[in-house]
Amino acid sequence: MISKFRPLNSRPLNNRERNILRLALAVALLLVLSNGIPALQSMYQDRSIQIEQLLTDIEREQRLLEETEQWQARAAQTNEQRERLDDMLFESGTAPMLTASIQRLIRQHATQSGINITSTELAETESSGDWIKLEQSLSFVMDNQQSIMNFLRVLEQSRPYLAVQDFSMRRARNQFIGDITVVGFSRQNDTGEAE
């Protein structure tokens, strides 16, 4: 036989007990409201800050993804420019070797353009930081005035690069005589030698 569960004290609550129970519920509700609501507000604010930070991070990541192609293009352009600039520099171990390289290249371009070099001065080198600048002055003779234009064009297109720093020319009878100063550049490595 199944018996119904019956509380030990089945009598109904009197008014005093009900008032105590109501007061206990009111105090519990007051404690929940005074402690629980600020805790909930703090959790809500923390959550709002986290969501705002996540949205900022997402926006930043999306912007970086959108700019990836632009940065890759810039990097490729910078590398290409660096290779072009490296191609314009002379590579040599020491200043005398750099001087010899520049003189050889100038003579080659002069011969190709129909110009006869009559004399070359001692090359002057100047260092600044890890850069070496070499100035080479020379005198030339030519029969055809067009040869100097060809020579200047070849120097401008020369790789390694040769810049014309100073130029003068005069006519003497049926020839043109002139002087030119050409500049070349190189970089020094850590040991002080030119690269």
Tens of pLDDT, residues 116-134:
888 888 888 888 877 888 8
Tens of pLDDT, residues 22-34:
888 888 888 888 8
Q: What pLDDT score does 57 carry?
A: 92
Which residue type sits at 181?
Answer: T
Q: What pLDDT score does 6 carry?
A: 55
Tens of pLDDT, residues 70-107:
888 888 898 888 887 777 787 766 778 888 888 888 88
| C-beta neighbour count of 132 within 10 angstroms | 24
More confident: 1 or 50: 50
Cβ atoms of 183 and 105 closer than 8 Å? no
Question: What single-letter DSSP state applies at residue 92?
Answer: -
Tens of pLDDT, residues 151-162:
888 888 888 888
Cα distances (Å, whole numbers) of residue 90 to 67, 85, 131, 184: 37, 10, 11, 7
Q: CA angle, corner 161, sides to 195 and 184, nearest 5?
A: 60
